[in-house]
Amino acid sequence: MPADSPNPPAPLVACHECDLLQHDVPIAPGETVCCVRCGAELARNPPDSLDRTLAYTLTAAILYVLANAFPLIGLELQGRYAEVTLFAAVRNLWHIGMQPVSALVFVTAQLFPLLEMLMILLVLVPLRLGRRSPRLIPFFRLVLSVRPWGMMEVFLLGMLVSLVKLAHSGSVILGTAFWATATLILILTLAGRAFDRRVLWRMSHPEGA
């Protein structure tokens, strides 16, 4: 009896961290597959991924508008009051000669999180309506390259640190946008967990190959 039969023609995947080839096994809903050698996460199958990702991302988009339209923090100091929106803070940095820092904050806390949400909606909404649009796939590459640069959760921590520092000098008022941002980060985390990027790559193979 032959000890090792030739490999069945099962699809293979290579680990993106260590390049080991392994079988692309089917994943049960809610399960995660990790590389057998280095333990990197290879793929997940979040239950009900498309619907949940869409629901969370739409919610996030609404919260994003609130987070940017209203003041984040207000400060009252001896009868004088000031409040600030995120974009006003970015613009202020630009005008005082800190253009590189201003651009960095704008890109990481405003532009890239927005682009990511918009691009996810642009790709997933047609998919949900039953339209495959393989031409959007190169476009989706952008979403993935932008992802590491969205840092809203760090921005939230930055707000908290600012609050404590400000509590010293006057009375601090938490604005609508503060709560919107805090909720937005929670929702974005849920959206990230619900999202299964394999859905997109499958689009290009209508036969399910």
Residues that bind another protein (CB under 8 A): 4, 12-14, 16-21, 37-40, 72-73, 75, 77-78, 80, 82-84, 88-90, 92-93, 96, 98, 100-102, 104-105, 108-109, 137-138, 140-141, 144-145, 148-149, 151, 154-155, 157-159, 161-162, 164-166, 168-169, 197, 200-201, 204-205
For the stretch 136-144, contacts whose Cβ atoms lie closer than 8 Å and that sit 24 or more positions apart, written own/partner, are 136/203, 137/200, 137/201, 137/203, 137/204, 140/200, 142/115, 143/115, 143/116, 143/119, 144/197
Question: Least separation, in Å, of the C-beta of 145 and another protein?
Answer: 8
Question: Least separation, in Å, of the C-beta of 208 and another protein?
Answer: 14
Residue 62 or 137: which CB sits closer to another protein?
137
Measured between alpha carbons, how far is 7 from 5 in angstroms, rounded to an integer?
6
How many other CB atoms are there within 10 angstroms of residue 197's CB atom?
14
Phi-psi region of 79 (alpha: psi -120 to 50; beta: other; left: phi over 0): left
Residue 55 or 98: which CB sits closer to another protein?
98
Residue 128 or 141: which CB sits closer to another protein?
141
Residue 27 or 55: which CB sits closer to another protein?
27
